[in-house]
Chain A
């Protein structure tokens, strides 16, 4: 005779609402697309110079081979690829915590899958979405490597600050006052963003 837990687990697995599958599937597809798209395009475009491509790494993949993609988009893609896991980890953990029973209860009460997502899943993962957003923001704002790899003209604030402190010759370094003001601006900006997130996240918070 089968163990009841096995039956229960299979039972629940087979009834797993499409909503969750949808979220997982989207996450996985977008994540891999972001990571794989530039190298794959790079390989297709510069197949005959594979050695060169591999030899020069990310720089060649992105900056030179993908010149037809606007730099702003490249920059956004790069930051998305780097910060996406932080967001997914945070939200996936929240989705895992939602009991199947809640979604099933909602269905039996007359809610279509999208209504279940809007009225049950989304409100319950709301706080994790915000906390994921905070992590993404902090990770992105401190990211200089990926920015330098994909962008030639565009610069993010940390890159600008690095350039001020340690510029390419013959440019002279910025004065300590200028650098300090730049850092101060960045700190202030980060503080405001985090404060806004915190206010939003607080909400009613009764569960």
Chain B
């Protein structure tokens, strides 16, 4: 049963550092996601694990085996491509049984495996269809079946849902997770879609510029982001800039732009530090009119957007900062554009980060 360990893995393409000293441990039978914006090195990392490219430095272990010099065909993996990569000159059956055939399994076993996996992806009736006769969703299910047919215990998925329609994507992501779990596979899923990663992963590694910036369960990443980038990339966050004007124990008083003072829990900060306060849009409590109280910020509703499940408000504060507030659309009172409101948040629900040396805009940039 394979776990995957990366030890100080680095990969360069000329002067570009695609993967920068990454160490990771993906546990056996875990559904693990590599999440990050385009160009962050997540696909490169997956291709390193698959053996499609070799690391410049570091070690890659699949199970107990050091696989740095093992070619992809000997790594016993299943790889699913964003482009499906079905062989266009073969029908669904030949595609699915390709792995067992090239590995030299006997005919009886090939038949059994082929039928089993096609049954699993519910495409048994299309086994004589060529790839160009199948829809995107069907093609990707055949591609998953093909990856599973050779009996690999490690499934690598490179943005497998990237080329599919939204509805198909939503259905297929749960289906892929279910199959991986049913078969007891270790799965590593690359995606740039945080909602996809949050929905299906046991754990997620968030990547930025070739580095892993945080690893954790979806809950940990959402509730306790370790840095501004994760707070921004996982879910949505409002960032308010200010200085620590006072600190007592784990609670700091932060002076925001315009002299407004708010309280928030923080660690390892000192008086005078320039900080960024991150507050989730759904954390805000919003009330009509001007209210006094802890962490109360007064402003007016600048924009209202109805999003179905939620309603999204953009509130311009008196200090000219803009905050986004999200409320359930059916169970809470609505506010109108131009209405004066007070937004507040609990001190323990906000995160305080040191102001990034490269600037806030650059720190959260995803391109």
Contact = CB atoms under 8 A, between A and B. Distances in A.
B52 A15 contact: yes
Interface residues of B, number: 41
A6 interface: yes
Contacts of A101: 81, 83, 85
Interface in A98-157: 99, 101-102, 104-112, 115, 119-120, 123-124
B89 A123 contact: yes
Contact of B130 (A102, A106, A207): A207
Interface size class of A (residues with CB under 8 A): 20 to 34
B102 A124 contact: no
A1 B44 contact: no
Given A6-B16, A11-B47, A109-B99, A206 B83 contact: no
A108 B78 contact: yes
B39 A7 contact: yes
B132 A10 contact: no
Interface in A78-111: 99, 101-102, 104-111
Given A7-B41, A120-B87, A124-B88, A108 B13 contact: no
A192 B220 CA distance: 73
Interface stretch (B25-33, B69-77, B114-122, B259-267): B69-77
B243 interface: no
Nearest to A115: B102
A107 B38 CA distance: 25
Interface in B54-110: 71-73, 75, 77-79, 81, 83, 85, 87-89, 98-99, 102-103
Contact of A124 (B89, B98, B147): B89
B73 A11 contact: no
A11 B146 contact: no
Given A107-B71, A110-B73, A110-B150, A4 B39 contact: yes
Contacts of B81: 101, 104-105
B77 to A, nearest CB: 6
A119 B78 CA distance: 18
Given A1-B39, A104-B85, A107-B72, A11 B44 contact: yes
Interface string B340-365: 00000000000000000000000001
A23 to B, nearest CB: 18
B9 interface: no
A3 interface: yes
A10 to B, nearest CB: 4
A102 B87 contact: yes
Interface in B1-58: 13-14, 16, 18, 38-39, 41, 43-44, 47, 50-53
B68 to A, nearest CB: 15
Interface string B124-161: 00000011100000000000001100100000100000
A10 B16 contact: yes
B367 interface: yes
A7 B13 contact: yes
Contacts of B43: 8, 11
Contacts of B52: 15, 104, 107-108
The 9 closest A-B pairs by CB, nearest first: A4-B39, A10-B13, A101-B85, A109-B99, A108-B79, A207-B88, A4-B38, A105-B85, A111-B102
Interface of B: 13-14, 16, 18, 38-39, 41, 43-44, 47, 50-53, 71-73, 75, 77-79, 81, 83, 85, 87-89, 98-99, 102-103, 130-132, 146-147, 150, 156, 209, 365, 367
6 contacts: A4-B39, A105-B85, A107-B72, A108-B75, A108-B147, A111-B102
Given A1-B209, A107-B73, A207-B89, 9 more contacts: A4-B38, A7-B41, A15-B52, A99-B83, A105-B85, A108-B75, A109-B78, A124-B88, A207-B131
